[in-house]
Amino acid sequence: MTTGDMEIDRELQHVLWACYEYSQREPFPPEPRSVCYTWVRRAYEKRFGCRFHQSKLSRLAKLGFLELEETARAGHRRYYQLVDANQVRGLLEEWGLL
């Protein structure tokens, strides 16, 4: 995982927080927990009062924080998993988001 960009981009930190927050509320074991833009957006909007562009999830995947699982709805919905929830939690605590 690359944290250099994350130190600078507060919005990416917030999106990662929303992914973590949503995934922690899932009733499934950690391995099959998935997130998608629509689900994560709700947690983000509730805390930060605005929306983010779904390309931020793709950027988090390129940085190694999320892993693309599959697509659905004719490729219009992408599902991701957190690569390492414990590391993400540590970073979120460091950034003052938890």
Domain range for 40 is 4-94
Is the sign of the CA dihedral 12, 14, 20, 22 positive or negative? Answer: negative
Domain containing residue 88: CATH number: 1.10.10.10
pLDDT 10s digits, 36-79 = 999 999 999 999 999 999 999 999 999 999 999 876 656 678 89
* Contact assessment for residue 12 and residue 58, using Cβ atoms and an 8 Å cutoff: no
Query: In Å, how far from its chain's centre is CA 51?
Result: 14
Domains of the chain: total: 1
What ranges in 9-84 are assigned the alpha helix state H?
Answer: 10-25, 37-48, 55-62
pTM of the model: 0.86
